């Protein structure tokens, strides 16, 4: 006899888990089915190099989760199930080839001191921006947390007009469609400060010249200055473990190693799923797919021509390679020991270099100088490594999911299994130039290619960790498609959630929580 739930959820990423917990709290019987052996999707942690060295597989920064409306509602419950964060007072920095550096810190006047060393005028600009952030934040966070419906947007516009006036509202609109370069170059003078902030755009597929990306360097800079960063105690999986425990405690089911083969339909309505082992699981009220748009199409088949074209044409960002390192000691940064105190050190020397790297990856080429995001989590959480040892979390951005060639003409292989070591060595050579002697400190190394990221989690198409480009044509009302930013589909009772749905990527659980609130009525 088929097992029956009110809601069947496909995938155990943090968005589907957040949706499941909210629905369970509202009295729904929920069943979550995950194809991988471990829940969490891109948010998980393991000993990927050596025993005792805990590495975050993909996501490390949990600030969006800790500050989210979902965590505000369920933080106490998750805490009872073991969710624990570590505050970070020095969230990010950049090291530059000329031996200088800059960083954003919540400690005293450290940020201003670093900025003044590069540009006194930019230090003054920073002071002005931070003083006005409290007034600007409600409008930007209000937009990012709003439902993408015309009525909700009209109300948002009304509030913004009332608060900012017509001129202020138009200025905000101009800012929202500006590229990172446009905003950074009109705001700051020194190229290093522009690069320090511009690197954040690359986390969300906003190269310097992509329209609509200015908001992310601004928000990350301001939020980093105001609040710092949050990482998970013992690893990012503290969130996932707590979510699974909370769902189970409320009578829900979370099964791993249980891939879904297809979504069942009757008369235009989703009625459940068939698992790969042949089991039928019925859904009385909703089937929620935490998949990529293309993944949804594989499970549900044809719906309407317009919707199917949108899902088939959904565009993904370039991929990412991860390099996990177990180290005998922290990198000795050439720019100074101060960089050993930061959670992130970006190796992204200029806006021009970022633009070139992005264009190369978009063309399928291995970049000649990939951007590195070097995470130093053990600076703040010593529990992630044996005493006196450290882990290094290295994101290599950008990396094409399918290799067409090499920008430097040095790597002949076009298959990731053969190209991985050489490309990783290129990345580590960049790290070595900024922190001489790091290679000699490596005790263990684990390379994760874009192909491996997708094999582990099919939502990361081509190693795209944000599950789809956030460019304007695929954001706001158009994420993942016009008329479906709320996760709805043409099939009754079938819903899409995850990073491909508004409000998009990140650990904030917005897509899952917004959908669950809609389904539960609050």
The pLDDT of residue 335: 97
**Does the pLDDT at position 241 exceed 90?**
yes
- What stretches of 343-492 show up as alpha helix (H) in DSSP? 351-362, 416-434, 450-456
Domain boundary among 202, 227, 252: 227
The pLDDT of residue 350: 98
Do 304 and 371 have their domain in common?
no
Residue 434 in 3-state DSSP? helix
Do 449 and 475 have their domain in common?
no
Quick one: average pLDDT of 22-50?
A: 98
pLDDT-derived band at 1 (thresholds 50, 70, 90) equals low
Do 291 and 255 have their domain in common?
yes
Total residues belonging to the chain:
522
The pLDDT of residue 185: 98
Residue 88 in 3-state DSSP? strand
State how many domains the chain has. Answer: 3
**Does the pLDDT at position 475 exceed 70?**
yes
Quick one: average pLDDT of 16-38?
A: 98
Quick one: average pLDDT of 236-246?
A: 98
Do 209 and 239 have their domain in common?
no
| pLDDT tens, position by position, 64-78 | 999 999 999 999 999
pTM to 2 decimals? 0.96
Domain range enclosing 280 = 3-41+59-80+235-314+467-520
Do 200 and 296 have their domain in common?
no
Give the residue among 403, 467, 360 at the shortest CA–CA distance from 59. Answer: 467
Write the CA distances from 414 to 116, 279, 280, 321, 410, integer angstroms: 45, 39, 41, 15, 12
| pLDDT tens, position by position, 355-405 | 999 999 999 999 999 999 999 999 999 999 999 999 999 999 999 999 999
| pLDDT tens, position by position, 369-378 | 999 999 999 9
What's the alpha-carbon Rg for the chain, to the nearest Å? 22
| pLDDT tens, position by position, 172-208 | 889 999 999 999 999 999 999 999 999 999 998 999 9
Quick one: average pLDDT of 51-67?
A: 97
Number of alpha carbons in the 13 Å side-chain half-sphere of residue 415 = 2
* Residue 54, domain member (yes or no): no
Chain position carrying tokens 């390099």: 323
Residue 334 near residue 436 (C-beta atoms within 8 A) = yes
Do 261 and 147 have their domain in common?
no
Do 326 and 450 have their domain in common?
yes
The pLDDT of residue 302: 97
The pLDDT of residue 482: 95
Instruction: Give burial (CB, 10 Å; 0-12/13-18/19+) of 429.
Output: exposed
Mean pLDDT of the chain: 96
């Amino acid at each position: 006899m088929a097992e029956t739930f009110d809601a069947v959820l496909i995938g155990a990423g943090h968005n589907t888990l957040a949706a499941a917990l909210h629905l369970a709290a509202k009295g729904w019987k929920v069943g979550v089915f995950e194809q991988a052996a471990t829940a969490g999707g891109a948010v998980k942690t393991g000993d990927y190099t050596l025993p005792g060295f805990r590495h975050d597989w993909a996501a490390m920064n949990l600030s969006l989760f800790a500050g989210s409306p979902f965590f505000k509602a369920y933080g106490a419950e998750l805490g009872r199930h073991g969710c624990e964060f570590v505050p970070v007072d020095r969230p990010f920095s950049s090291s530059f080839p000329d031996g200088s550096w800059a960083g954003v810190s919540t400690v005293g006047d450290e940020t201003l001191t670093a900025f003044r060393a590069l540009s006194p005028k930019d230090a003054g600009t920073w002071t002005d921006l931070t003083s006005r952030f409290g007034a600007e934040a409600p409008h930007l966070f209000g937009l990012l947390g709003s439902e993408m419906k015309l009525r909700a947007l009209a109300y948002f516009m009304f509030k913004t007009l009332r608060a900012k006036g017509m001129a202020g509202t138009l200025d905000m609109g101009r800012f929202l469609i500006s590229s990172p370069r446009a905003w950074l170059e009109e705001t700051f003078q020194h190229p290093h400060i522009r690069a320090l902030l511009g690197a954040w755009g690359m986390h969300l597929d906003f190269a310097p010249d992509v329209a609509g990306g200015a908001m992310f360097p601004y928000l990350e800079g301001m939020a980093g200055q105001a609040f710092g960063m949050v990482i998970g105690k013992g690893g990012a999986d503290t969130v996932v473990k707590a979510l699974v425990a909370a769902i189970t405690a409320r009578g829900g089911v979370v099964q791993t190693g249980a891939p879904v083969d297809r979504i069942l339909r009757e008369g235009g309505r989703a009625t459940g799923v068939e698992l790969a082992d042949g089991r039928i699981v019925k859904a009385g009220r909703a089937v929620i797919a935490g998949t990529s748009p293309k993944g949804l199409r594989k499970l549900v088949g044809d719906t309407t021509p317009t919707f199917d074209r949108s899902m088939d044409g959904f565009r993904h960002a370039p991929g990412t390679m991860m390099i996990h390192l177990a180290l005998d000691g922290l990198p000795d940064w050439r720019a100074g020991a101060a960089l050993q105190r930061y959670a992130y050190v970006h190796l992204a020397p200029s806006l021009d270099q970022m633009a070139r790297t992005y264009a190369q990856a978009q063309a399928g080429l291995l970049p000649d100088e990939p951007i590195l995001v070097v995470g130093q989590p053990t600076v703040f959480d010593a529990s992630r490594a044996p005493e006196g040892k450290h882990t290094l979390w290295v994101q290599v951005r950008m990396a094409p999911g399918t290799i067409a060639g090499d920008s430097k003409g040095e790597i002949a292989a076009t298959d990731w299994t053969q190209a991985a070591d050489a490309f990783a060595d290129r990345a580590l050579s960049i790290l070595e130039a900024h922190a001489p002697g790091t290679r000699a400190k490596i005790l263990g190394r684990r390379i994760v290619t874009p192909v491996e990221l997708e094999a582990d989690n099919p939502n990361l198409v081509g190693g795209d960790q944000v599950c789809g480009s956030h460019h304007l044509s695929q954001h706001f009302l158009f994420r993942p498609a016009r008329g479906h930013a709320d996760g709805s589909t043409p099939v009754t009772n079938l819903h899409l959630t995850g990073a491909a749905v508004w409000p998009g990527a990140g650990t904030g659980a917005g897509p899952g929580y917004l959908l669950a609130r809609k389904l539960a009525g609050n």
